[in-house]
Amino acid sequence: MEEIPFVKSASLGIWVEVGSRDETDAEAGLSHFVEHMFFKGTARRSAQQIAQEMDGLGGELNAFTSRETTAFYAKVVDEHLPQAVDLLSDLFRHSRFSPVEIEREKKVVLEEIKMVEDDPEDLVHDLHTANVWRGNPIGRPILGEVKIIRAISQRKILDYLNRKYLPDRIVISVAGRFNRSALIRQLNRAFRTFGRTAERESYGRPPSPVADGRLVIRRKKLEQAHLCLGLPGLPLTHRDRYGMYALNTLLGGGMSSRLFQEVREKRGLVYSIYSHFAGFKDAGMLTVYAASAPRAVRQVLDLTLMELRKLRNRGIRTDELRRAVNQMKGGILLGLESTNSRMSRLARDEIYFGRFFTLEETLSEINKVSERQVRRLSEQLLDARNLSLTILGPVGSEAARFERLLN
C-alpha cells in the first residue's frame, strides 16, 4: 500500500505470478484467455452489469497478461474505492466461466490474434521472441495458438485456476488516496476464505531460456520491411540492471539516442527506430526495432551494427551518460504522477524482489551508474556472435546476404 493524500484517485491491482511462460505446450494462450473470462459474469453480476457499474463510477477496469504475470486492476475516484474493491474481488473470486461465454470469447481472442497478424510491428516482435528463445515457453506468443484456443473448455479453465491461482502467488497492491484501516478490513472480508482445494502442483518454471536464434525471414506483402535485431540481456533482478537500462537508453531509448540520431535524423532511412530491454526473472533481451523501405534494410542493419560496435569498443562519453541518467530519473518521477504506475511499481517490486524500493533508493542506484559499468556491460553483452535477426516484409530472396551480415 502507498497512501498519497494529495491525489483524488486510487488504483487497486490483483497480481498473479503466473504468465504465458508457465503454460505447457498444450496450454499455450490459456493464461491470457482466462484473464478475458474474468470479465464475463459472476454469480452477482452479468458482463454488461460489470461494464455499466464501472462506467457509472467514472473509473477504469482492465487486465493484462505478460510472460510472467497476470494483473487485474481498477482506478477510481477515491470515494468509489470500496465499490471498486467489491467489484474486482467479485470478478476474481466468483466468475462463473459460463460455457456459452467461453465459446463467445474464443471468437474475440481469435480476432485479437488476427489483429497481431495485421500489425507488423507487433508481429515481428512475436516472431523475434520465438526466434531468440526457440523451444522455451517464454518464446511463445502470449495470445497462444489458434488450435488450443478453440479447444478451451470450462473444465480446462477451472483446472488451470486450481493449479495456478494460489494465494501465495497473489499480490494485492493499492496506491492513491484511501483509508488504510477501512481498506484492510474490506480486503480481509473479500479474501479471507480464498483458497484452492485441488492438489497443489509442484511449482517450478521450465529451464531458463537460452538465446540461440539466428536469422528468421518471413516474407509478407507490406510497404515496409520490419526488423528486430537482438542480443541477450540481463535478468530483471540483476545487480547491474540500472547499468543495463542506461545502455539501452544510450543505444536507442529516446530522440537523442545513438540509433535515432544516426539512422533517422542524419540519414532519413526510417521513421521508427528504437531499442528496448525486456527483463525476466532469469533472462533478458536487448532488442533493436526498425522499419524501413525494403531497399534500405541492409543499410539500416549496417548502421545499427556499427553503433553496437562503437559502444562495445569505444565506450561512452560523460555527457551521454549524464543525459541518460537524467532521462531515466525523469521517467520514474513522471510515472509517480499516476496512481496506476505507483500501484504497478509496488506489485512488481514485491513479485520480483520481495520488498519495495523507495524512490530515494531507486534514484540513488541510478546515480551510481558509471561509464566503467556501462563499458563493461557493452563488452559483455554487445557481442556480434550472439546476434539474432528477424525480418518481416517484402525482402525478396536475400537470406544469404543477411546471414553473411551476422557472421
Residues 228 and 372 in one domain: yes
- Among residues 23, 35, 101, 307, the one annotated as catalytic is 35
- pLDDT at position 212, please? 76
Pair 290, 357 in one domain: yes
Residues 6 or more apart whose Cβ sits within 8 Å of residue 46: none
Q: Give the whole-angstrom CA distance, residue 280 versus residue 67.
A: 8
* Structural domain contains residue 82: yes
Asked if 332 and 359 touch (Cβ cutoff 8 Å), the reply is: yes
The angle that helices 241-252 and 359-367 make with each other, rounded to 10 degrees, is: 70
Domain count, the chain: 2
Predicted pLDDT of residue 379: 95
Q: Domain residues for 222?
A: 215-406
Grid coordinates of 57: 463510477
Which residue do the cell numbers 471498486 mark? 84
Q: How high is the pLDDT of residue 166?
A: 93
Same structural domain, 163 and 220: no
Helices (H), 95-239: 99-118, 120-132, 146-150, 154-164, 180-191
Pair (170, 224) in one structural domain: no
Domain boundary among 175, 191, 207: 191
Looking at residue 290, its amino acid is A
For the chain, how far is it from start to end, CA to CA, in angstroms? 51
**Cell numbers 556499427 correspond to what residue?**
306
Q: What is the pLDDT of residue 208?
A: 84
The sign of the CA dihedral 333, 335, 339, 343 is: negative
Q: Are residues 361 and 232 in the same domain?
A: yes
81 lies in some domain: yes
**Which residues, in sequence order, are CB contacts of 217 under 8 Å at separation 6+?**
390, 391, 392, 395, 398, 399, 402
C-alpha cell read off for 233? 540481456
Q: Is 174 helix (H, G, I), strand (E, B) or coil?
A: strand
Note whether 178 and 276 are same-domain residues.
Answer: no
Q: Same domain, yes or no, for 269 and 367?
A: yes
Contact indicator for 246, 321 with CB cutoff of 8 Å: yes
- Asked whether residue 46 falls in the same domain as residue 163, the answer is yes
pTM of the model: 0.93
Q: What is the CATH number of the domain that holds 93?
A: 3.30.830.10
* C-alpha to C-alpha distance for 6 and 207, rounded to whole angstroms: 45
Catalytic residue check, 17: no
Residue 201 lies in a domain: no
Q: ∠ at Cα 331 (6, 244), nearest 5°? A: 140
**Contact assessment for residue 44 and residue 95, using Cβ atoms and an 8 Å cutoff:** no
- Are residues 179 and 223 both part of a single domain? no
- In a domain, residue 76? The reply is yes
Q: Are residues 167 and 226 in the same domain?
A: no
- Residue 132 belongs to a domain: yes
Q: How far is residue 293's CA from residue 395's CA, in Å, rounded to a whole number?
A: 9
Give, in degrees to the nearest 5, the angle at Cα 174 between 170 and 180.
115
Mean pLDDT, the chain cut into blocks of 10 residues (407 residues total): 96 97 95 98 96 96 98 98 97 97 98 97 96 93 96 97 94 97 96 72 70 87 96 95 97 96 97 97 96 95 95 94 96 94 97 96 97 96 91 78 65
CB atoms within 10 A of CB 306: 13
- Do residues 67 and 135 both lie within one domain? yes
